[in-house]
Amino acid sequence: MHAAGRFIVFALCALLVTGIGLARAPQLAEAGYTYATPTRDGTGKYYFGREIAQVMGHRAAGWLERRSRAREEAPDRAVQAMQLTTDAVVADIGAGSGYFTFRMAALVPAGRVYAVDIQPEMLDIIREQMQRRSLENVIPLQGEPDDPKLPVGTVDAVLLVDAYHEFAYPFEMMNGIVRSLRPGGRVFLLEYRGEDPRLDIKPLHKMTQQQAISEMQAVGLDWVETRDFLPTQHFMVFEKPALASHQ
């Protein structure tokens, strides 16, 4: 065959192969997601029938530090209930301004807390606080919307407070989180109680216990218990099985 002809055949084959790849990639990456017109505060992207909420911007960081929050959410009781050992390796995912990060850092003086967020401005706030408090056991980590970027198989406990419902890629994020946990490691998922219609929180920012259990089981986590000692949130505990597939 003429050289130009061979090139055209090669180019057509390459186009066909990459074309198939491109056509398939979104399908694989988006497995389990469906789409519709976004509702108020929503993204229009659905997972297990739940519309994913919009991400809270860093300009609202002051709201995370509001004085009334200690009464509304009892954060000290929440972190105590995690029963962390002093050398535990913990990850606060969707850490925001570090409202929970620093509470956990005080409980693990011989361990460390990874503070993961996708907004660099949030991590800057955390770094400022680390300096002000002269803390060295907090590690700020810039995550991606579909990857917490945590080291594999090393984390004892992951805390998710008011963050999971706004993950744009909950399946991929949770798979990354499960990979980061050691076998028997735990996920503590705190979300405003979706079953309570009197709770004055935007509907997409609440979750029912059943919804959360379905989504966590989808990535191989075992549900251990749901405790309702917090004023407004579920305190849900999940565990990575000792013989999990993501090790």
Write the binding mask 169 to 188 for ligand SAM: x where contact by CB under 6 A, - elsewhere: ----x---------------
Nearer to ligand SAM by C-beta: 54 or 241?
54
- What residues between 67 and 106 interact with ligand SAM by CB under 6 A? 93-96, 99-100
Q: How far apart are CA 246 and CA 160, in angstroms?
A: 20
Q: How far is 202 from 39, CA to CA, in rounded Å?
A: 12
Minimum Å gap between C-beta 64 and ligand SAM is 4
CB of 105 to ligand SAM, least distance (A): 14
Interface pattern 36-55 for ligand SAM (x via CB under 6 A): -------------------x
DSSP code, position 150 = P
Of 55 and 135, CB closest to ligand SAM? 55
> What minimum distance in Å lies between the beta carbon of 241 and ligand SAM?
24
Distance CA 169, CA 125 (A): 25
Give the residue, chosen from 47, 167, 188, 235, that forms a contact with ligand SAM under the rule CB under 6 A.
167
Q: How far apart are CA 236 and CA 217, in angstroms?
A: 13
The DSSP code for 108 is -
**Closer residue to ligand SAM (CB): 121 or 196:** 121
Binding mask 204-233 for ligand SAM (x = CB under 6 A): ------------------------------
Residue 245 DSSP one-character state: S
What is the C-alpha separation between 31 and 232, in angstroms, rounded?
A: 32
Cα(21)–Cα(25) distance, integer angstroms: 6
Per-residue binding string, ligand SAM, 100-129, x by CB under 6 A, is: x---------------xxxx--x-------
Please pick, from the candidates 74, 157, 161, 237, the single residue that binds ligand SAM as defined by CB under 6 A.
161
**Contacts with ligand SAM: how many residues (CB under 6 A)?**
22
**In this structure, what is the dihedral angle of CA atoms 208, 57, 202, 161, given to the nearest 10 degrees?**
30
CA 151, 115, 208, 239 torsion-angle sign: positive
Q: Which secondary-structure segment (H or E) carries 106?
A: helix 101-107
Please give the backbone phi and psi of residue 86, each rounded to the nearest 5 degrees, phi first: -65, -20
By the rule CB under 6 A, 56 interacts with ligand SAM: yes
- Terminal-residue alpha carbon distance, the chain: 51
Binding region for ligand SAM (CB under 6 A): 55-56, 64, 93-96, 99-100, 116-119, 122, 143, 145, 161-163, 166-167, 173
